[in-house]
Chain A
Amino acid sequence: MTRIVVDFERCEGHGLCEQTAPEVFRLDDEGELHLTRDEVDAEYESVVAAAVRVCPVAALKVQP
């Protein structure tokens, strides 16, 4: 399992994570980021890694 950590102070709501992995990342009507789950299994690991990488403000991290 991989754990997703969001730095909400940094998040500017650009939504590139949502565009890359909509199964896991969701922006609400205020543009606030929500995770549909905090931990992901192997099935989603690579798509989550791609979503974390495209965050322009480096607000997302994954922890094993």
Chain B
Amino acid sequence: MKRIVVVGGSIAAVTAAQSLRAEGYGGQVTVLSEEPHPPYSRVPLSKGVLAGRESVESALLPLPSEDIEFRTGARAVRLDTSGRTVTTADGTDIPYDGLVIATGARARRLTGDSDLVVRTLDDASRLAARLAAAHSAIVLGGGFLGMEIATTCRTLGLEVTIVDLVPPLLRLLGPWLAELAVAAARDHGIRVRVAPDGVEVLDEHRVRCGESVLTADVIVCAAGDVPNTDWLEDSGLALDAGGGLVTDACCRVAPGIVAAGDVVSRQGRRTPHWTNAVEQGRTAAASLLHGESAHPYRPDPYFWTEQSGLDIKISGELPLTGTPEVLAGSVDDRSALLRWHREGGTATAVAVNHRLPVIKLKRLGAGVPTPVPARTRART
């Protein structure tokens, strides 16, 4: 392979590109990112960056090494798998011998492009400017992101209401942990409005929840994400019902094509989380270079959130059913190390405001993934 093209510009894309070098690939590596920025982490966007406490620059990740070409403002619009070419929005055709698809996902919008969301650095900057001049906010969506945005709104002194069709965090975490987090949210001054009959955005400031209408200076949409696979529609590659790009256990999509990160659908679902993006980036690079002898991707189900004064770290599969074993601390104090035993003998460990090395948490939960050594002598 003379040239490998990586489509995407976030952690999965950059990890894959850098892993190609770590695996000893000596050909050309070109990364196509649609964003105007160098690679950055989305993790601080809903917190420090949104609060205006941390600069945009502080979210930047190290640039890829100099032997990797990183193009910004290069949005892929078409893939021709038989001609082995990616076409960008400006009409440039970029030929490849190997392809890594890591185009991630975008915010799901409820009304249109004018929705305020938190997905990209520019989204967060735009919303930060609006929050700085606001007294109240409505956050549509009670997932991790929505709860984190609401927490930041409270930090800024805004009145904030979370609105969702179902109780916040319930589907994600299960009832026990969701109730603990929602109780903390209410104590933090966050209002929670569950509207099973439907939520309708009436205009920039008004939301209908069932019979009543809520108003706020700012409405933020945190209603999940949609995989960026529109550009693959005519490519012939398999997409799942939700638009995720289907891969096998080794992150392979088709001959000479692998994928990593939020765009990937594996075993019927997407797992859009940081550690999965990293592990898949590494696996995708190795699979592209080593083909049949590649190692399957080992999921590292590690999740965390900071909201309403809670620092929650989780190792293991979600959601959780039943009541946990309390290994340390106290649930009443909302500072505890918890463990749920799951069917099939696995466990999920959760630290709530409980400091411990994450490796210990993983030993109690899903286990610690063993790094696959890079084959530094391999040449392709």
Q: A residues near B, CB below 8 A?
A: 10, 12-16, 18-20, 27-31, 46, 49-50, 52-58, 61-62
* Residue from the list B15, B43, B356, B359 in contact with A53, Cβ < 8 A: B15
**Contact: B44 with A57, CB < 8 Å?**
yes
Bound complex: CA of A38 vs CA of B73, how far in Å?
36
CB within 8 Å for A58 and B355 given contacts A20-B371, A46-B22, A53-B14:
no
What separation, in Å, do the CA atoms of A29 and B65 have in the docked complex?
34
Known A16-B275, A49-B62, A53-B18: A31·B358 in contact at CB below 8 Å? yes
- Interface bits B358-380 vs A (CB < 8 Å: 1, else 0): 11000000001101000000000
6 contacts between A and B (CB under 8 A): A10-B44, A13-B355, A18-B358, A53-B61, A57-B44, A62-B62
Interface size for B (C-beta < 8 A) is 32
User: Which B residues contact A (CB, under 8 angstroms)?
Assistant: 11, 14-15, 18, 21-22, 40-41, 43-44, 58-62, 65, 274-275, 278, 302, 304, 306, 311, 313, 355-359, 368-369, 371
**CB neighbours of A56 from chain B (8 A):** 41, 43, 274
B18 and A50 within 8 A (CB) = yes
Is A54 in contact with B355, judged by CB distance below 8 angstroms?
no
Q: How far is the CB of A61 from chain B (nearest CB, A)?
A: 7
Judging by beta carbons under 8 Å apart, are A19 and B355 in contact? Answer: no
Cβ-defined contact, B357 with A13, below 8 A: yes
Task: Check A50 against B41 for contact (C-beta < 8 Å).
Answer: no
